[in-house]
Amino acid sequence: MIGRLTAARAEPGPLLPLEVEGLVVEAGGRRLLDGLSFTLRPQRCTVILGPNGAGKSLLLRVLHGLVPPDRGVLRWPEPDPDRRRLGQAFVFQKPVLLRRSVRGDLAVALAARGVPRRERPARIAEALALVGLRGFERRAARSLSGGEQQRLALARAWALRPQLLFLDEPTASLDPAATRMVEAIVRDLAARGVTIVASTHDLGQARRLAQDILFLHAGRLLDRGPAEAFFERPASPEARAFLAGELPA
């Protein structure tokens, strides 16, 4: 049905590098993101690390265009916001799955992005194979286990062929086995050239996945750069305390 409402759209140009300058988001008189400046490099896995309430999820939403910033500039190489959206996908901490079958859920996403009807079955089959959910096509999407739901959300994201994939705490509510599977999929997508930007408060996950780190604390960007350097020589006392596993007062 929605296939008729959305015409096929032109492919976006390269989305990265993205230069962010002086990003500010405020709410209720509080600065939730306070003057962030950084560059997202292409074909890297950037992990936004920090404690709960640091502003990680909010930053992902601002980058993806779900929340408008109050101040600051996001300099994208692709000027058209609609085309930029076509090159991105977002996986939420709690996967948002439609009240229909696994296949139906993926089909809606593909139709929304203007993927021609004849191409959809192959895309769906390939995406489900990537995340190990072949044979689940007719199952109700919301009846899957937590780990399977997150893998389905990743399959849906991959089916859209994004240049840039945002992952908001993708394993926050998963057990170690499901976490391992999700991380393997993320590495697989990165190997296929997808630029990953993931938020987490899990140090182990950051060490396993990150090539670049953005360390957020109370809405401020206190540390950024290659992951190895960050883990060896964190620049801020807050990052040192976080790496040492110290509980905040």
E-only strand ranges, 61-179: 71-75, 88-91, 164-168
Q: How far is the CB of 82 from another protein (least distance, A)?
A: 7
Residues forming contacts to another protein in the complex (CB under 8 A) are 1-2, 5-6, 61, 64, 66, 82, 85-86, 88-90, 92, 96-100, 108-109, 112-113, 140-144
- In the complex with another protein, the residue whose CB is nearer, 82 or 126, is 82
Shortest CB 108 distance to another protein, Å: 6
* Residues linked to residue 197 through DSSP beta bridges, in sequence order: 46, 166
Residue 18 beta carbon to another protein: minimum distance, rounded to whole angstroms: 17
Closer to another protein by Cβ: residue 2 or 129: 2
Beta sheet of 18-27, edge-to-edge order: 30-40, 18-27, 71-75
Nearest approach, Cβ of 237 to another protein (angstroms)? 35
* Sign of the torsion formed by the C-alpha atoms of 161, 164, 169 and 172: positive
Task: Select 83 or 208, whichever has its Cβ closest to another protein.
Answer: 83
Give the residue among 181, 109, 120 at the shortest CA–CA distance from 145.
181
Nearer to another protein, 112 or 184 (CB): 112
Amino acid at 190: A
Residue 123 CB, nearest approach to another protein (Å): 14
d(CA 213, CA 227): 5
Which of 55, 107, 60, 123 minimizes the C-alpha distance to 88? 60
Q: Please provide residue 122's backbone torsions phi and psi, each rounded to the nearest 5 degrees.
A: -65, -40
Nearer to another protein (CB atom), residue 66 or residue 203:
66
